[in-house]
């Protein structure tokens, strides 16, 4: 495997310890003006990486957000299993799972990054054996993996829980089955779609998730030789094949990163051109933002986002599986709502505990009342800088957005959450005029 461009060294322990001590300091009040290039989607890249376990040939992933903590962590998981992984500064991830030396994703890695449970499907399909530490709860909710396990059992896997590990075996290989998911799950859909590509016979997934990242993954799997029909619909039909082969694939742009910067401009004012955006993946954000008073216009692969002068009006949003409003933009939208005219109601239907940003925003002067899974946000005339901290990625970035418009200085602690999911956040925002730095 050649690696001409500069290789990124994967050392997840060192990384997370270093950034745990770092803070982000923001002086609010600057408009954003300029251009921001959107990276490849983290939540697609993580799945493409594990899909490489399905083939013994090399896979090249272009437009991979290689600087993200989660991507480096996934690289560490794949290396633990014996795959060769090279992450390059130019955004290329080169992965070759020629032979697998271990079938175990250990506790220490899984607890840091839940997406490693997605090795279950591919490893069972190709090797008939996989062990993954049970991920446990996380800051945004309990997040069980029962749907993944039930579906794999239906496909013939024998699964037991032992010492905190899911131990799965399919000595005679996986076989196709009809799976009826009780709710829409991104991860379970992906895990089973991957497993089904190499299972014997046909697998049908009913009530499948339809997120653009799943469509992107399905398209890559089809390039690898998989037979999948119904991508982007709630019914996937997958006919197992003998073998998949290596490919080069360009990862879909990150709609959540793009949405986050759109909301940033809505808050600060100014004009930013977002490069490498698929607006059709963001209709549930673009529609309400335009109605609230923003100017948003597509120009080829660019999206021009502008708010000059106008005051935005508050509006109501409910998170839902795609094509509904994404839960991964809920916290950022709440930051925006705190400074809109009038009130807005935000209802979270995906995760039971995804309002941890509320008390921190209140400390910055926001007026928010939570009733169960809804938050009523009454717009205030301005936020005030404060020292804040959040316990997950999207909540953390919501506080950064609040800091961009708050009077005075905002210090965001625990920024390792941000490093997990936003590539070059400080560089991208300061290039557009934000006063933001690491300390």
The catalytic residue positions are 138
Distance set, CA 125 to CA 121, 240, 302 (Å): 6, 10, 39
Rounded to 5 degrees, φ, ψ at 108 are -60, -35
Q: Which two tokens stand for residue 417?
A: 């959450």
- When the beta carbons of 144 and 359 are compared against ligand EPZ, the nearer one is 144
By CB under 6 A, is residue 254 in contact with ligand EPZ? no
A 10 A CB-CB count for 183 gives 10
- When the beta carbons of 315 and 351 are compared against ligand EPZ, the nearer one is 351
Residue from 24, 166, 170, 186 in contact with ligand EPZ (CB under 6 A):
186
Q: How far, in Å, CA of 245 to CA of 35, rounded?
A: 38
- Least distance to ligand EPZ, CB of residue 156, Å: 18
Q: Which of residues 315-344 bind ligand EPZ (CB under 6 A)?
A: 327-328
By CB under 6 A, is residue 377 in contact with ligand EPZ? no
By CB under 6 A, is residue 112 in contact with ligand EPZ? no
A 10 A CB-CB count for 311 gives 12
Q: Which two tokens stand for residue 88?
A: 């390059």
By CB under 6 A, is residue 45 in contact with ligand EPZ? no
- DSSP symbol at 211: -
- Least distance to ligand EPZ, CB of residue 188, Å: 5
By CB under 6 A, is residue 148 in contact with ligand EPZ? yes
Where does residue 158 rank: exposed (0-12), middle (13-18), buried (19+ CB within 10 A)? exposed
By CB under 6 A, is residue 187 in contact with ligand EPZ? yes
Q: How far, in Å, CA of 276 to CA of 267, rounded?
A: 22
By CB under 6 A, is residue 147 in contact with ligand EPZ? yes
**Residue-wise over 233-242: b if at least 16 C-beta within 10 A, else e?**
eeebbbebee
Q: Which stretch binds ligand EPZ (CB under 6 A): 82-90, 136-144, 284-292, 333-341?
A: 136-144
- Least distance to ligand EPZ, CB of residue 41, Å: 9
By CB under 6 A, is residue 87 in contact with ligand EPZ? no
Q: Are 411 and 23 in contact (CB under 8 A)?
A: yes
By CB under 6 A, is residue 396 in contact with ligand EPZ? no
H helices present in 200-254, as ranges: 212-223
- When the beta carbons of 39 and 185 are compared against ligand EPZ, the nearer one is 185
For the chain, how many residues are written? 439
Q: Which of residues 5-44 bind ligand EPZ (CB under 6 A)?
A: 43
Give the residues lining the site for ligand EPZ (CB under 6 A).
Answer: 43, 46, 115, 141, 143-148, 183, 185-188, 327-328, 350-351, 393-394, 421
């Amino acid at each position: 495997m050649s690696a001409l461009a500069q290789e990124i060294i994967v050392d997840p322990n060192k990384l997370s310890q270093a950034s745990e001590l770092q803070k982000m300091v923001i002086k609010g009040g600057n408009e954003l003006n300029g251009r921001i290039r959107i990276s490849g989607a983290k939540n697609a890249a993580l799945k493409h990486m594990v899909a490489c376990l399905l083939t013994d040939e090399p896979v090249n992933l272009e437009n991979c957000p290689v600087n993200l903590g989660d991507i480096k962590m996934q690289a560490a998981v794949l290396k633990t299993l014996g795959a060769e992984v090279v992450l390059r500064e130019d955004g290329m991830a080169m992965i070759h799972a020629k032979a697998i030396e271990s079938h175990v994703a250990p506790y220490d890695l899984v607890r840091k990054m839940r997406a490693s449970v997605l090795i279950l499907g591919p490893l069972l399909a190709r090797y008939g054996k996989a062990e993954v530490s049970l991920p446990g709860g996380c800051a945004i909710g309990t997040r069980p993996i029962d749907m993944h396990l039930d579906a794999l059992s239906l496909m013939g896997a024998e699964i037991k829980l032992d010492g905190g590990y899911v131990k799965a075996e399919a000595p005679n290989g996986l076989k196709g089955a009809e799976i009826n998911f009780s709710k829409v799950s991104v991860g379970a859909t992906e895990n089973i779609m991957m497993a089904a590509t190499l299972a014997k016979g046909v697998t049908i997934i009913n009530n499948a998730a339809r997120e653009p990242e799943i469509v992107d993954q399905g398209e890559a799997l089809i390039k690898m030789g998989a037979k999948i029909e119904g991508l982007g619909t709630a019914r996937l039909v997958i006919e197992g094949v003998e073998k998949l082969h290596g490919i080069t694939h360009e990862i879909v742009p990150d709609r959540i990163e793009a949405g986050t910067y759109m909301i940033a401009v809505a808050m600060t004012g100014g004009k930013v051109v977002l490069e490498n955006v698929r607006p059709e993946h963001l209709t549930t954000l673009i529609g309400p933002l335009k109605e609230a008073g923003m100017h948003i216009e597509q120009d080829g692969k660019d999206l021009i986002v502008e708010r000059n002068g106008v005051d935005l009006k508050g509006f109501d949003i409910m998170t839902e599986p795609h094509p509904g409003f994404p839960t991964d933009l809920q916290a950022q939208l709440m930051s925006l709502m705190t400074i809109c005219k009038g009130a807005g109601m935000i209802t979270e239907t995906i995760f039971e505990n995804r309002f941890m940003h509320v008390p921190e925003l209140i400390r910055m002067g926001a007026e928010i009342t939570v009733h169960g899974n809804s938050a009523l946000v009454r717009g205030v005339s301005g936020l005030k800088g404060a020292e804040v901290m959040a316990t997950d990625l999207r909540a953390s970035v919501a506080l950064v957005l609040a800091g961009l418009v708050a009077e005075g200085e905002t210090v965001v602690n625990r920024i390792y959450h941000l490093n997990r999911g936003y590539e070059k956040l400080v560089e991208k925002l300061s290039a557009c005029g934000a006063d933001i730095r690491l300390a």
